Amino acid sequence: MNDRMMKAVLYDRYGGPDVLYLGRVPRPEPAAGEVLVKVHAFSVNGGELAARAGRVRLVTGRKFPQRVGLDFTGEVAASGAGVTRLADGDRVWGVLGRTSGFGSAAEYVTVPAERIGRVPDGLDLVDAAALPVATTAVTALRDKAGLRPGERLLVRGAAGGVGNAAVQLGRAYGAEVTALARAANLDFVRGLGAHQAVDHRIARPGELDRFDVVLDTAGTELRAYRGLLNPGGRMVTIAFDLKRPAASLGYLAASTVHGHGRVRFFSGDPKRAHFDDLARHVVEGKLSPAVDTVFPLEETAAAHRALEAGGVQGKYVVRVA
């Protein structure tokens, strides 16, 4: 077997999960400032589903094959010139940067050393793969919203990857947490620490209470949820409406500048400090991984299919090594 090649999940055209296949590509080599990580696991994220389906083809283009996988856990296999803080065998986690695209659904990945952190001792690397996107929840609640003890927090999409972390962290930060989720997931989000759990299919925005902070992971009905804010309230969203992208992004652009209750939209782009924060939250017991199902690498398409079907409790994780 050619050790310069590796397994990776690819697709040659946009479409449903069935376009994914396990192929072979050249194994990358770390450049200066980078590390080569032997991937143990990664999770499935909504953004890569949209990319694979062709919903953002103006960004992803038409050059194939394309790759999937955004986050990862693994072990350092080699380091490029100038990397001194990491050694071969170190257990690490990370998220590929905005300019890197997808590609962690593979046996190896290269990443700048400043974009990864060490996984806490005692945390299994497969379980840990559910947590890198939790850096988005930390940034949203702590940095973007400035959530304070005693405030009322609404988490929309509370059973998902970012949402479940937001419920746990909101409780840890001293907020009163209301979680919106499917009926089948209400006990799950209560178990994460939600003070109240509400079926999002029954309770419309106009029937909900007022909140100091709203964290949205869906990107739809933003105007209605913004209307739930108390004076001085803050709304943070990490998504926009893919069915109406122009209108959705236009609304976000306008609402970040003026009007009652500013809406802050951002896309997670974590670096070393974010992963240090993540590790500290895990060690302090504020945050635990929530893994719904673990799939083998050759069943990545099944993991995509499951996420598209909805109802996930935490994260779908794919085991590589």
Question: What residues does each domain of the chain span?
Answer: 5-130+290-319, 134-265
What distance lies between CA 238 and its chain's CA centroid? 10
The CATH number of 5-130+290-319 is: 3.90.180.10
**pLDDT single digits (tens) 67-106:** 999 999 999 999 999 999 999 999 999 999 776 789 999 9
pLDDT range class, residue 59, cuts 50, 70, 90: confident
Please report the pLDDT score of residue 321 as a whole number.
78
Asked whether residue 259 carries a pLDDT value surpassing 50, the answer given is no
Give Cα separations from 318 to 31, 35, 199 (angstroms).
27, 21, 29
**pLDDT single digits (tens) 238-255:** 986 655 554 445 545 444
- Choose between 315 and 221: higher pLDDT: 315
Please report the pLDDT score of residue 204 as a whole number.
85
96: which residues sit within 8 A by CB, 6+ positions away?
A: 69, 70, 71, 72, 102, 103, 104, 109, 111, 115
Please report the pLDDT score of residue 214 as a whole number.
97
104 is written with which tokens? 């962690």
Q: Please, what CATH class does the domain formed by 134-265 belong to?
A: alpha beta
The number of helices, as runs of H, and strands, as runs of E, in the chain is 10, 16
